[in-house]
Chain A
Amino acid sequence: MGRFFKRNKIKRAAQSLASVLVTLLLLVTLTFFLGQVMPVDVVSRLVGPDADQATYQATYERLGLDQPIIVQFGIYISRMLQGDFGTALLTGHQVLDDIVRVFPATIELGTLALLIGAGIGVPLGVLAAVQRNRPADHIIRVVTLLGHSVPIFWIGLMGLLLFYSYLGWVGGGGRVEIYYDGLVETRTGLLLVDSLLAGDTEVFWSAVRHIILPATVLGYASMASLCRLTRSFMIDQLSQEYVTAARVKGVSEWNVIWHHAFRNIRVQLLTVIALTYGSMLEGAVLIETIFAWPGFGQYLTNNLLLGDMNAIMVCVLLVGVIFITLNMLADLLYKIFDPRTVQ
Chain B
Amino acid sequence: MATLTTESRPVRYALTAVALLFLFLFLLLPLIGVFWEALHKGWQLYLTALVEPEALSAIKLTLISAAIAVPLNLVFGVAAAWAIARFDFRGKSLLTTLIDLPFAVSPVVAGLMFILLFGANTVAGSWLQDHGLQVIFAVPGIVLATVFVTFPFVARELIPLMQSQGADEEQAAIVLGASGWQTFRKVTLPNIKWGLLYGVILTNARAMGEFGAVSVVSGHIRGETNTIPLHVEILYNEYNFVGAFACASLLALLALITLLVKSLVEWRLHRQQQASTLRTAEARLQAAQP
Do A and B actually bind?
no
